[in-house]
Amino acid sequence: MANQFQILILNQISATGLKRLPERYTTGKDIKAPDAVLVRSADMHGMDIPASVRAIGRAGAGTNNIPVKAMSQRGVPVFNAPGANANAVKELVLVGMLLAARNIAGALDFVAKLDTADPEMDRKVEDGKKSFAGYELAGQTLGIIGLGKIGCLVADAAIKLGMNVYGYDPEITVDAAWSLPSQVRKAHSVAEVLKHAQFISLHVPLVDATRNLINADNIGTMKHGAVLLNFSREGVVNEAAVLAALAEKKLGRYVCDFPSAAINGRPGIIALPHLGASTQEAEENCAVMVADQLVDYLEHGNIQNAVNFPNVSMPRESTYRLAIANANVPNMVGQISTALAQAGLNIHNMVNKSRGEMAYTLVDVDSKVTPQVIDGIARIEGVLAVRYLPLEA
């Protein structure tokens, strides 16, 4: 019988994505011993992740809600869906700039409070509108911190709207750099971006190095009345610093996707309920991408788009495959090959790749692998997880 897999679902995942899982897969939110977890923003840090879990699929970009380091130590890849929701976020960032520049939230509120039975309503509309006059985006300068999938799309859209764009990303990839319009000016520091831009948009992941990236020390260096947009993560911005800068009118608006007790309802705050990736298209794209990656990993051991392991794939030419997650230390491949040779197994094909402290090995052999051989490999120091993935007869 073909392999049965159980997938624990922690958030609402697009049905189109779930349909990519073969029918023999069971999905649900109460599965006790899942082979894999599908998640969006649910916080998995406090969760007791069952030992049965072989992979985690994040139907989205950010993985700060997942204990990635602990999963690496267990040899468990954490997959995400790079770029699959980037267009949705880009569009909401454009909305964010317009909300700030045109006083749209205040204007909508004003209209909602109009008395439609008042014969003077039309006059009040014409009188009232002057309170909401704004300015245009064309000609303004936007600074983008983080030029990954989202930052690059925001840069491109802003250039097309006639804005000047500064971008900062010390680890920009070659592909991202190629995708940027030539008009984007390269900034060499966060400070340089803050100095030049009227709008600053953050598109970095939340990691130790980006926590409080915008803080009391640098927020005062922004242009007077600047607009800060945060569709990245709450922790990237120090909210106390934002409130102080708004109170001093140093900051014009703080537009974010992360409401909180500290900022909600405060003057100058425009907060959306984490809507960046909430379009039908983005939800489908993310779920499809990550479901396909999970299936390929669970059934064939191939890794594509894990945040903690290298990309490793090998075409299936042999029925008998071992997938081994191991520490990136010397002599792992040697010890694995020796264990197979000692068991009289001939290696048909093999690939080993590393990324940081992690490495991953796929080995196809010409005959059946016994549980004793698998146990022997699992006991090699530095081996974190071993899976035997024979093709079904």
Ligand X SMILES: NC(=O)C1=CN([C@@H]2O[C@H](COP(=O)(O)OP(=O)(O)OC[C@H]3O[C@@H](n4cnc5c(N)ncnc54)[C@H](O)[C@@H]3O)[C@@H](O)[C@H]2O)C=CC1
Q: Is the dihedral of CA 214, 218, 220, 224 positive or negative?
A: negative
Residue 169 touches which of ligand X, ligand HPV, none (CB < 5 to 8 A by kind)? ligand X
Residue 151 touches which of ligand X, ligand HPV, none (CB < 5 to 8 A by kind)? ligand X
Could you say which of 17, 34, 57, 60 contacts ligand HPV (CB under 6 A)? 60
Could you say which of 37, 61, 263, 307 contacts ligand HPV (CB under 6 A)? 61
Q: From residue 299, give the alpha-carbon distance in Å to each of 25, 166, 387.
A: 11, 44, 10
Here's the x/- map for ligand X, 339-378, by CB under 6 A: it reads as ----------------------------------------
Any contact of residue 277 with ligand HPV (CB under 6 A)?
A: yes
Q: Which is nearer to ligand X, 258 or 297 (CB)?
A: 258
Phi (first) and psi of residue 266, to 5 degrees: -80, 150
DSSP string, 51-87: TT--EEEESSS--TTS-HHHHHHTT--EE--TTTTHH
Phi (first) and psi of residue 193, to 5 degrees: -65, -50
Supply 129's token pair. 């509108």
- Choices 99-107, 203-211, 237-245, 369-377; region in contact with ligand X by CB under 6 A: 203-211
If one counts every other C-beta atom within 10 angstroms of the C-beta of residue 168, the result is 23
Phi (first) and psi of residue 243, to 5 degrees: -65, -40
Any contact of residue 256 with ligand HPV (CB under 6 A)?
A: no
Residue of this chain nearest to ligand X (CB atom): 148
Supply 238's token pair. 């120090």
Short-list 86, 45, 92, CA closest to 66: 45
CA distance 325 to 354: 10
Could you say which of 85, 201, 210, 230 contacts ligand HPV (CB under 6 A)? 85
Check: CB of residue 351 under 8 Å from CB of residue 389.
no
Total residues contacting ligand HPV (rule CB under 6 A)?
A: 9
Any contact of residue 257 with ligand X (CB under 6 A)?
A: yes
Residue 145 touches which of ligand X, ligand HPV, none (CB < 5 to 8 A by kind)? ligand X
Residues 154-183 that bind ligand X (CB under 6 A): 168-172, 176
Residues that bind ligand X (CB under 6 A): 60-62, 82, 85-86, 89, 145-151, 168-172, 176, 203-206, 209-210, 231-233, 257, 274, 276-277
**Contacts with ligand HPV, residue ranges (CB under 6 A):** 40-41, 60-62, 85, 276-278
